[in-house]
Amino acid sequence: MSKRKMTISPETPLDEIESHLAGTLKPVAPPKGFVQHLRARIHLPHRAEIAIRLRDWQTLALVFGGVISGGLVILTLARAMFHLFGRRNVG
């Protein structure tokens, strides 16, 4: 496999760079068995099932509360780290 180097100067036109990259970057297709295996493992629920899950307000409230609580914990830890390590005066 021969590798050719392209020297790029500020005067090099963009068309030349694009054509060089187009020849360098080739699309690679995955094996067919791999794609079939992934399609079998990935399961997207039907629209009706998604709608039923969104109508369950208790679970939705629990998820929303968990996300907000997690964000507050991360924010509190970040502020604590800033106050502990960010205020050191060097010099």
* C-alpha angle 86-87-88 in degrees, rounded to nearest 5: 100
Distance between CA 71 and CA 62 in Å, rounded? Answer: 14
pLDDT tens digits along 67-79: 999 999 999 999 9
pLDDT tens-digit map of 2-61: 556 666 666 668 888 787 787 777 788 899 999 899 988 888 888 888 888 778 888 889
65/53 Cα distance (integer angstroms): 16
Give the 3-state secondary structure of 8-25. Answer: CCCCCCHHHHHHHHHHHC
Buried b (16+ CB within 10 A) or exposed e, 34-57: eeeeeeeeeeeeeeeeeeeeeeee
Q: Residue 1 — very low, low, confident or very high, per pLDDT cuts 50/70/90? A: very low
